[in-house]
Amino acid sequence: MINDLTYTEVWSRLKNRIISKPDTLGCTSWKKYTKVAEATKDIDFGCDFEHGLCKKQRNVPPYYSGDDEFKYGTMGCCVRCNSSLGYLDHIQPGTIMKYLRMFNLKTGFWRHGEGCILPRSMRSYTCLTYSCSDKSSDIYVQISNLAKGTA
C-alpha cells in the first residue's frame, strides 16, 4: 500500500527508471524530449474545471478518503500521482534528487491549488499527453507533429 512507502523506497524505484536516452514522444535524446515537453504547454487539452473541480472526476472518491484537504475531484487525472511516482517510466540521469525534493508521499508531485509542480521537461509521457476530453486523438496528432518538428 502506498501509505507505507518511504522516501528510501521512492528513491529505489526512481533509481531503477534512470535511462540515458528517452524513447517516447518520438524523441531519442533528452534535449529533444525537453523541447517537445515544453511545447505541449500550448496545446488545449480540453480540461474542464468548475469551481476548481474536474468535471469528469467530480464524483470519483479521493484516493485517500478521510483527508479533508483533498475533496472529491480536486486532483482530477492526477489522483494517483503518488502511487505511480508521477507515472514516470524513465528519468534523465542526474535528476533523481530534483524529483525527490518535489515528491510528497501523500500527493506525489501534485499540490492543492497549484496542480503539478514538476516543470514540463520533467513530466512523464503520460502526464504530457493524457486527456480525457473528446479531443484526445487530435492532441496525440499535435504532439506527434511537435516531435517530428512539423508543428
At 136, the pLDDT band (50, 70, 90 cuts) reads low
Helix (H) or strand (E) holding 110, with range, is strand 110-111
**How many separate helices (H) and strands (E) can be counted in the chain?**
5, 4
Domain ranges, residue 82: 2-148
pLDDT at 103 > cutoff 90: yes
pLDDT at 8 > cutoff 50: yes
pLDDT at 5 > cutoff 90: no
Number of structural domains the chain divides into: 1
pLDDT at 28 > cutoff 60: yes
pLDDT of residue 60: 57
Q: Whole-number mean pLDDT of the chain? A: 78
pLDDT tens digits, residue range 47-67? Answer: 766 665 666 665 555 554 444
pLDDT at 43 > cutoff 70: yes
Q: Output the pTM of the full model.
A: 0.77
pLDDT at 75 > cutoff 80: no
By percentage, how much of the chain surpasses pLDDT 70?
A: 74
| DSSP structural state of residue 108 | B
Q: Select the more confidently predicted residue: 131 or 98.
A: 98
Q: What is the DSSP string of 2-68?
A: GGG--HHHHHHHHHTTB-SS--STT-SSHHHHHHHHHHGGGS-----EETTEESTTTTSPPSSTT-T
Q: Are 151 and 144 in contact (CB under 8 A)?
A: no
